[in-house]
Amino acid sequence: MMAAPAMVLVLPVLLVAAVWCVAVLDGVLADRAAGHRGGAGRSLVRPGQEVARLLAGQRRTTQAADGLLRWAGIAGLIVASVLAAGVVPLGWKAPADLSVGVVWFNAMEVVAWAAVWLVGWGPDSALSLVGGYRFVAQGLAYELPHMFAIITAALGAGSLRMSDIVDAQAGLWFAVWMPAAFAAYLLSAAAMAFWGPFDAPLGRDVAGGAAAELSGVDRLLFEGGRRLLLVAAAAVAVPLFLGGGHGPWLPAGAWVLVKTLAVLALLVWLRHRLPVVRMDRWTEISWIVLLPLTMVQALAVALVVLARGGGGP
């Protein structure tokens, strides 16, 4: 098992590699949907070509833009995503094995809320501001079911520490006996990264929404931060519900990577299978369906924990 300082150095490399995998798979599915057959090699190099195009692109600004707020939002999105992933055990221990790891992850998610809103506010553009407010509204819709989902996992383990939650799943993954919480978490993970059916904050009806006025390096960093947030959310699903490093044959760290990539593949696939959900419809689903469902799931887990006199299945 790697020492904590080594994990801190390895974590950014793993995150960038995962973002690249997301971009490649997303491109493959987009090509298949459009009927293109460019081959695997083209899909592998396309993210690099897009990075080069944006790096060479000219930065566009509006007349009364607040560059400081815009940059604070872009940087905040990236930093919040990396710090959120810092509590994920890369094997049995996390780079930051905090006693309140679940709370820390949720706090970094709220920082991402503020970051996206700042990106929408900074350009002083009506369309980008609409996108920023859409993301805040989307967050208010999914946050309660999301919180109940992650707290249910912590309740089952009797701890807010990610490594303790992993240890509690040595015999049975929480996704097996907490299916409602796991499903709600996956939906909220996609909404958190305004991904797939939840990308209304970047909707075409508002010319790209929060990212409407971003170009060049600004656009590159924002899109990278968005995918980093998706990777962090997918990675946290592994210790919370999928047993962390538990599994046969492979080392614990390899199992974490395999499970994270599997969750990412599912989220990317759903992006190309589900239509964008209207904000009012998503709020209705979250508060009328997901919230009661996750509350009942938390109550059921609490009763099991009380009956067994401790955490874990």
From first to last of its 313 residues, what are the pLDDT tens digits of the chain? 555 667 777 888 888 899 998 888 888 887 777 666 665 667 778 888 888 888 887 777 777 777 788 889 999 999 999 999 999 988 878 888 888 999 999 999 889 988 998 998 888 888 888 888 888 888 888 889 999 999 999 999 999 999 999 999 988 899 999 999 999 999 999 998 888 888 888 888 777 778 888 888 888 999 999 999 999 999 999 999 998 888 888 888 899 999 999 999 999 999 888 888 888 888 899 999 999 999 999 999 999 988 887 545 4
Q: How many domains does the chain have?
A: 1
| Residue whose token pair is 């067994």 | 308
User: Is residue 214 situated within a structural domain?
Assistant: yes
Task: Give residue 194's domain range.
Answer: 4-21+61-308
pTM of the model: 0.91
φ, ψ (nearest 5 deg) of residue 167:
-60, -35
Q: Could you tell me the two tokens for 251?
A: 């080392």
Contacts of range 48-56, beta carbons closer than 8 Å, 24 or more positions apart: 50/23, 51/220, 54/215, 54/216, 54/217, 54/219, 54/220, 55/216, 55/217, 55/220
Residue 255, CA distances (Å) to 91, 141, 202, 242, 248 in order: 8, 32, 34, 10, 9
119: Cβ contacts below 8 Å, ≥ 6 apart = 70, 73, 74, 77, 128, 132, 210, 211, 214, 222
* pLDDT score of 310: 58
> What is the C-alpha separation between 32 and 206, in angstroms, rounded?
27
* pLDDT score of 58: 79
Residue type, 197: P
Q: Could you tell me the two tokens for 43?
A: 């899909």
Kind plus residue range of the DSSP H or E element containing 297? helix 291-308
Q: Could you tell me the two tokens for 115?
A: 């970051």
User: Is residue 85 situated within a structural domain?
Assistant: yes
> What is the C-alpha separation between 20 and 16, in angstroms, rounded?
6
- Helices 101-121 and 216-241 meet at what angle, rounded to 10? 160
Residue type, 78: I
User: Is residue 247 situated within a structural domain?
Assistant: yes
* pLDDT score of 4: 61
Q: What angle do CA 73, 105, 12 make, to 5 degrees?
A: 70
* pLDDT score of 40: 60
User: Is residue 52 situated within a structural domain?
Assistant: no
User: Is residue 11 situated within a structural domain?
Assistant: yes
Residue type, 244: G
**Start-to-end CA span in the chain (Å):** 26
User: Is residue 74 situated within a structural domain?
Assistant: yes
User: Is residue 274 situated within a structural domain?
Assistant: yes
User: Is residue 41 situated within a structural domain?
Assistant: no
